[in-house]
A = this chain, B = another copy of it.
Amino acid sequence: MNTTQEQLAPVLAEGGAELTRLLDCTEARLAEVARGHGPALARHAEGTLAAGGKRLRPLLVFLCGGGERALPAAAAVELLHMATLVHDDVLDRAELRRGRPTVFADGGRPAATATGDLLFSRAFAELASTGSADAVGALSRASSALARGELLQRADAWSEQVTPERYRERCELKTASLFEAACRLGAIFGAQPATAETLGCFGERIGLAFQMLDDVLDVSGPTERTGKPRGADLLDGTVTLPLILARRSDHELRLLDLRASAATQRDAEALCERIAVTGALEDARREALTHVHEAKAALGRLDLPARRRRALELVADGVVERYA
């Protein structure tokens, strides 16, 4: 059992045998999609699949009400997530992801771009097979949001002007939107459309917290936990909440040109230290916890079966514990 599975063990225990079976079926379906569309996709997608991941988004589909009928939706949200990872790795020229060579490293830029496009397409093909245009609508809204978030992030690179509001908007687009869609899809296929709005809100809040805590971890380290060098965001010009908040109390940081001041790994680490002493990491963590709190409060507005409610609360707590 790896760390990820350990973290999810309490959730799986609440979900019972049926949840584990549905997640196994999702895994089998993802492998089928990877194999079923030509040898090039098979090679590239199987590597991406084998690299694993928490399958947090399919898990949310099932915990939000989706049963057997929601299997294509669970596969679709993970395929869309994989597609964005493959494209992100091309843009970041990332050679490794979770300790394995990326599609970019293995097949080069053209193959990785086309592989991402193919995974995108298969996500929509999976959902279309359910016959639910509502579901396709929810996924295409999330998919558009992810791409807009990416555009926003690239537009904001190195900028001194990024406000906390703008940063939150970016997190909503590039991360929270897919968590939200996963929860909505669960409600749609669970034939409880009345819960879609509230469960969508739950997903959006934990997605927001997830991204914020990820950004805190990039500054706080340690690298043994993150698997990447400290300050990687600063090095590629991505302005996140810790820096934005630190700039408010540290005047010199406010005037600092990020491009010049985080040019090397050593510079980036020094900048991380400087951000840390302002207390900005605690402030950012506190905001993330507020979002987790709001997510759980949203659950309180629904009449959910006790075990499903408990499992969803555990997922929300898991987002925090991952970074505790």
Contact A144 B128 (CB under 8 A): no
Contact: A118 with B148, CB < 8 Å?
Answer: yes
Say yes or no: A41-B148 contact (C-beta < 8 A), given A128-B136, A133-B136: yes
A113 contacts B87, CB within 8 Å? yes
Across the interface, name the chain B residue whose C-beta is closest to A117. Answer: B147
Task: Identify A120's interface contact among B130, B136, B143, CB under 8 A.
Answer: B143
Which of A63-71, A150-158, A268-276, A315-323 forms contacts with chain B?
A150-158
Q: Which residues of B contact A120 (CB under 8 A)?
A: 117, 120-121, 143, 147
Q: In the complex, what residues of B have CB within 8 A of residue A38's CB?
A: 148, 151-152
For chain A residues 116-137, which have a beta carbon within 8 Å of chain B? Answer: 116-118, 120-122, 124-125, 127-133, 136-137
Give chain A interface residues in 75-115, CB to chain B under 8 Å: 84, 87, 90-91, 107-111, 113-115
Q: Which of B107, B129, B147 contacts A137 (CB 8 A)?
A: B129
Bound complex: CA of A155 vs CA of B144, how far in Å? 29
A140 located at the interface, meaning its Cβ lies under 8 Å from any Cβ of chain B in the complex: yes
A residues sitting closer than 8 Å to B (CB atoms) are 37-38, 40-41, 84, 87, 90-91, 107-111, 113-118, 120-122, 124-125, 127-133, 136-137, 139-141, 143-144, 146-148, 150-152, 154-155
